[in-house]
Amino acid sequence: MVPDDADLAGLQLVFWLDGLPLGRCEVAADDLPLSTATLASLASEAVAPAIGYRLFARGFEAPMPALEPELRPPSDATALLACEHPLAAVRERLAGTDVALEAGGSAAEVSVVVCTRDRPEALARCLESLRAAQPRPREILVVDNAPTSDATHRSVAAMPDVRYVRESRPGLSIARNTGVRETTGAIIAFTDDDAVVDPHWIARLAGPFTARDVMAVTGIVFPGALESEAQRMAEDRLWGFAQEFRRRVFDGRYFARMRGRGVPVWHIGAGANMAIRREAFSRVGLFDERLGAGAAGCSEDSELWYRLLAEGWRCVYEPAAAVSHFHRDDLDSLRAQWHAYMRGHVVALLVQFARYRDWGNLRRIALQLPFFYLVWLHDVFRRGVRTEGLLWWAAVSGSAAGVGFYLRHRGTPPVA
């Protein structure tokens, strides 16, 4: 229920069925209030692709990022219209799948790693959601990364089912590698301290690992709140890409097809919602410690996915595994984050080129990013949004800084 006096920039509606996200839509403030008929129409249109995929798969496959339109599968509306009770059919299939997953299997082998630094309140919220998950993970490990106080240690000490490890060296990749070494599960799931997981997260993230060649699984990321301008901008520019409601499978065929233009591994998902098979680290190595927060800025997760695809393994995006992420709520923090993200992104592209000599990585730096920034700048001037212009400059300067960071650190070993 939206209060009559609510000051809204609009609504983001997400449609769920028994804990399964099926679709979303945006409603502008000028279109409020919504009638029941309008809401029903929006919901039907939003969930149809995911319902079709869950029931029939073939004909409703999700388009793969950056592929040419002619290579994208068409939706088969005829099959969906012929189904008398599509929601009931999806509910029945979902119930059977969840019972199988929660009975054990891959979920029993999941260790969860949460890396944190000086955010005990946000961490407590994250851990409460993990402790409420069904089934419970094999273990929950908090890696306290270069803390400036003992607040996190004291908070975790009150949770006997959560283990605490201090990692004095700063850097998210370093902390995640510590988590890999300290855990015992065959599957290692990662989420952020400023995220909250869905109760079914463990089981649904573990499900695709039944296929032996799947080495990484990611899930959908929703905004935990959209109350400030910064949070809305973060969703539009940084996080909104991770909201396809049908499974995607990234494999060697996709990698080969995209190699010359730059494989968009960032579309596989987000590090706030991912799981990696332990075996993957022995095959392609740990997270590159030159990347990630506290170093280049980000992309330690997508760079690992790049290695997995390059070596012939598969990565799966499974939207049934849901996480809510609380974005930065002030513009200064968002600008700093954007600068760090684009710096890390460019460093990752250069690292990937150095490893595999895939020229598509350089093409993205030299052609795709400048074109993206020009289009974005034109849009900023057209709409006259000064705050977004500052965000644009943070991204551009971050990209330039990425080249310098790589040149200074190119001789540094990926893992200390």
Q: What is the pLDDT of residues 338-366, one digit of tens each?
A: 999 999 999 999 999 999 999 999 999 99
If pLDDT is split at 50, 70 and 90, which confidence band does 228 have? Answer: confident
If pLDDT is split at 50, 70 and 90, which confidence band does 79 have? Answer: low
Taking residue 43's Cβ as centre, other Cβ atoms within 10 Å add up to 15
CB 236 within 8 A of CB 340: no
Percent of the chain beyond pLDDT 90? 68
Domains recognised in the chain with CATH numbers: 10-95 (no CATH), 107-333 (3.90.550.10), 340-409 (no CATH)
If pLDDT is split at 50, 70 and 90, which confidence band does 226 have? Answer: confident
Q: For 219, how many CA atoms within 13 A lie in the half-sphere containing its CB?
A: 31
Residue 416, helix vs strand vs coil: coil
Q: What is the pLDDT of residue 91?
A: 83
pLDDT of 100 > 60? The answer is: no
If pLDDT is split at 50, 70 and 90, which confidence band does 241 have? Answer: low
pLDDT of 102 > 60? The answer is: no
pLDDT of 9 > 90? The answer is: no
pLDDT of 311 > 90? The answer is: yes
If pLDDT is split at 50, 70 and 90, which confidence band does 3 have? Answer: very low
Residue 255, helix vs strand vs coil: helix
Strands 20-28 and 10-17: antiparallel
Phi, psi of 17 (to 5 degrees): -135, 110
CB 318 within 8 A of CB 217: yes
> If you average pLDDT over every residue of the chain, what do you get?
90
Q: What is the pLDDT of residue 271?
A: 94
Q: Any idea what DSSP says for residue 270? A: B
- Both tokens of 22, joined, read 């099926």
CA nearest to 410, candidates 360, 353, 330: 353
- Both tokens of 130, joined, read 């993990």
Q: What is the pLDDT of residue 90?
A: 79
CB 309 within 8 A of CB 315: yes
CA nearest to 201, candidates 61, 50, 20, 24: 20
- Both tokens of 384, joined, read 């006259």
Q: What is the pLDDT of residue 104?
A: 47
pLDDT of 279 > 90? The answer is: yes
Q: What is the pLDDT of residue 99?
A: 57
CA nearest to 299, candidates 262, 269, 258, 334: 269
Give residue-wise pLDDT tens across range 163-172.
999 999 999 9
pLDDT of 1 > 50? The answer is: no
If pLDDT is split at 50, 70 and 90, which confidence band does 34 have? Answer: confident
Q: What is the pLDDT of residue 212?
A: 95
Strands 248-250 and 314-325: antiparallel
Bridge partners for 110 per DSSP: 187
Instruction: Using the CB atoms, write b or e for 383-395: b if 16+ within 10 Å.
Output: eeeeebeebbbbb
pLDDT of 301 > 90? The answer is: yes
